[in-house]
Structure 1
Amino acid sequence: MLSLDQLITFFNRDRAATAEPREESRTFTARCHCGNIEYSIVLPASSLPLNGYICSCTLCRYSHGSFGSFHVSLTQGVAPEWTNGTINMSVYKTKGSEPGGHGQRWFCPTCGSHNGHYEPWAMQWIADSSLFEENFWEIKGFGFPKSPGDGGLVSWLPESVSKGMKMLTMDRDFPPEDKIEIGEDGGERLRAECQCGGVSFTIKRPSDAVRNDEYLSRFVAPGNPNKWKAYLDFDKETRRLASVLFMPWALIPRTSLEPEVPSDLLIGTMKTYEASDKITKGFCGRCGAVMFIKNKDGSPSEQSEVLNVAVGNFRAPEGAKATNWVQWRSVPEREKEQIGFDSQFANDIIEGQKAWAVEQYGKTLEFDII
């Protein structure tokens, strides 16, 4: 049972659903990357901004491929107004799913963008906030902060920001007991798997062949030949593709995945979406988790293909950031200046990650990612 304070922070229970007579209303539109799903909501101006929150439970992390989902609970009585009059979405039902929507996640069957879900116990729609054109919320809460095991995204928030956020923890807020696997060659393997298990593979450490390759060696972490490069992606197109404010990617050669992922990315329940003539997204067709981004310009040959692999799906024993397997680049100023969506909170994450990097590595790391 949530307290009144938690209901206000995470479910906006202190906000009105309809405008008073002669009061202004505001309309906000959300759209997935391909445009197959588009809807609008109408809110009274006096209720704005709503409270938003981040959830880093395993369901949200492993169904998005990120460090958590970015949610805004629409006020009780407010529902999406679907542009085409229908709800054209795929629905993933977890093992604990209940009638009416609890435990379900909805995503576009074409591009894989998550749209949110309906919580019957709260009688409210929970929207994935990153698909909206305009920001109408302030992030005030963080759910399941213990689940990532290493602090996850919370450890990348400045203390001045995290202290002002309400933390929601429950008896199931604990990290999974993941273990490193061993391959037939005796080398370590890191499991990456979506929420439903339909897409699952392991990651090798950089081999001598990779480290000695003129092209592939570029993706080995500088100064640490046993780790891969990783970075935070705040690009506008990525935000719509992944339904999150940013994506955490590791840059890994396709041939360093086991079993080797084919060039068309189609393994298990994987579906692909051509986001552009150069960019292909690979996502689980059953639970919607982002697994890969493949850039046709990013590799000189098929055997040298390097994939953006979603770190949110990694099952690293040390925690969600998988610091025993990757080194994290800090976002450079030139990229920071291009962020337009929820820029203040994005900048908070960027500055917090830089402070974490100094503590972790002794300095911020900046390196090429192409």
Structure 2
Amino acid sequence: MAPDSKTLTAACHCQSIHFAITIPADALPLKVHICHCSICRYTHGTPCIFHAPLPAGVAPQFIAPSSIDKLTPYNHAESQAARHFCSTCGCHIGDRSHDDGSWVISTAVFTESNQGLWEMHTHAFTTSSLDGGLSAMFSHVDGRQLDVFNLEASLDTSKATRTEAEELRAECHCGGVSFSIARPRKEFLDSPACEGWVLSRDTSKWLALLDLCDDCRLVDGSNVIAWMFVPIDHISPSPPRDLIIGSLKSYKSSEEVLRTFCGTCGATVFYSCTDRPGIVDVAVGILRAPEGVMAENWALWRGRIGSKDDGLKYDPDFSRALIEGWKVWGSMKGMPEDFFVPPL
């Protein structure tokens, strides 16, 4: 390695994808755009994604036995680049341009924490989120104001408007996974199973949270994910025990935890663990709520972010900005400070 460069390594959760990139020192920190567009949300299952263009001539160098063949590429009619995600665990690592082969890399998959390696620079396509999404939570990181980039055509409500008032649609980008979520039903609210999953202050909504945990970061390839907790019997079509519907693939991130993602476009969809039978976590990024990404007519958000210590260790400046901004947003919205959910 030349003295005027730095080599970074990256890996997904299952370690099938393991690569290095060597960055010229004068190109650090990498400039990150936080994209809120519907394509990114529906292909990742997250409220937004975190991508940084690599300098010209720099590309992932896969470390054996890892190879690019262990990634699934995803293209769509509007794509100018192929999205790539791990075929085993679903982790997105970035996009490769059709024109010149250049890469835009995820900043969620590096094996070392952010110490001058990347820098949040821009909120992109915030209007596509309808409600601002996470861009409404923070505008500065480490005292620096983030740019905001939008195009007039970035507002996309084509699929969101199909949602019925008592039914919330969820669908990945390719449409291989599609289902509906019902509001809490009377029989559920009257049963012991309801305890802990619906708050008495608003029994029409499901609980939801933002999460900064390392495992989630490495299975979806985004620095933060959001979950909404829903009983399986309130989902139609109801997922079987293995949670496989449509084009879903499954991945066990631990003995207790089963996760699913779309095998075609890579969107994170479900999380399930053995100590929460009958309840699944639905990735908020694939919800088609007409009011916007945060689905506030459906979700009652916890005011405290999950696994914040993981986030503060991996990317302290971004995580502090999000945690503080989330507190303000939650207070303004009257969200509950806390509710108990078994560890993710």
Fold-level match, TM-score > 0.5?
A: yes
Aligned equivalent of 1:272:
250
**Deviations 1:20-68, CA, capped at 9 Å, x for gaps:** xxx3321111111111111100112333212111111111100000111
Alpha-carbon distance, 1:232 to partner: 0.8
On the 8 A contact 2:141/2:321 being kept in 1, the answer is: no
Aligned equivalent of 2:281:
308
Residue 340 of structure 2 is aligned to residue 368 of structure 1: yes
**CA 1:206–1:163: 2 relative to 1, 3 Å:** farther
For the residue of structure 1 that corresponds to 2:285, the secondary structure is: helix
Q: Would you say how many aligned residue pairs link Structure 1 and Structure 2?
A: 335
Aligned equivalent of 2:62:
82
Aligned equivalent of 1:13:
none
Aligned equivalent of 2:291:
318
Query: For 2:176 and 2:105, how far apart are their aligned partners in 1?
Result: 25
Aligned equivalent of 1:6:
none
**Deviations 1:187-217, CA, capped at 9 Å, x for gaps:** 7100000000000000000111221222333
For the residue of structure 1 that corresponds to 2:134, the secondary structure is: helix
Aligned equivalent of 1:66:
46
Q: 1:128 aligns with which of 106, 115, 122?
A: 106
Residue 127 of structure 2 is aligned to residue 149 of structure 1: no
What percentage of aligned pairs have identical amino acids? 35
Aligned equivalent of 2:324:
351
Aligned equivalent of 2:12:
32
Query: For 1:225 and 1:252, how far apart are their aligned partners in 2?
Result: 13
Query: For 2:53 and 2:163, how far apart are their aligned partners in 1?
Result: 39
Query: For 2:144 and 2:154, how far apart are their aligned partners in 1?
Result: 19
**Deviations 1:235-266, CA, capped at 9 Å, x for gaps:** 11111011111110001111110111112111
For the residue of structure 2 that corresponds to 1:146, the secondary structure is: helix
**TM-score of the two chains, using structure 2 as the length reference:** 0.91
Question: Following superposition of structure 1 onto structure 2, how do residues 170-319 of structure 1 map, counting pairs within 5 Å?
Answer: 170-177=151-158, 178-179=160-161, 181-182=163-164, 188-299=166-277, 305-319=278-292
For the residue of structure 2 that corresponds to 1:366, the secondary structure is: coil
Alpha-carbon distance, 1:96 to partner: 2.5
Structure 1 vs Structure 2 CA RMSD: 2.1
Query: For 2:192 and 2:86, how far apart are their aligned partners in 1?
Result: 39
**Deviations 1:50-108, CA, capped at 9 Å, x for gaps:** 211111111110000011111111111111111127312111111234xxxx2421111
Structure 2: runs of 5 or more not aligned: none
Structure 1: runs of 5 or more not aligned: 1-17, 300-304
Query: For 1:161 and 1:319, how far apart are their aligned partners in 2?
Result: 27
On the 8 A contact 2:11/2:17 being kept in 1, the answer is: yes
**Deviations 1:5-32, CA, capped at 9 Å, x for gaps:** xxxxxxxxxxxxx96xxx3321111111
Query: Which amino acid in the other structure matches residue 314 of structure 2?
Result: F
**TM-score of the two chains, using structure 1 as the length reference:** 0.85
Alpha-carbon distance, 1:327 to partner: 0.8
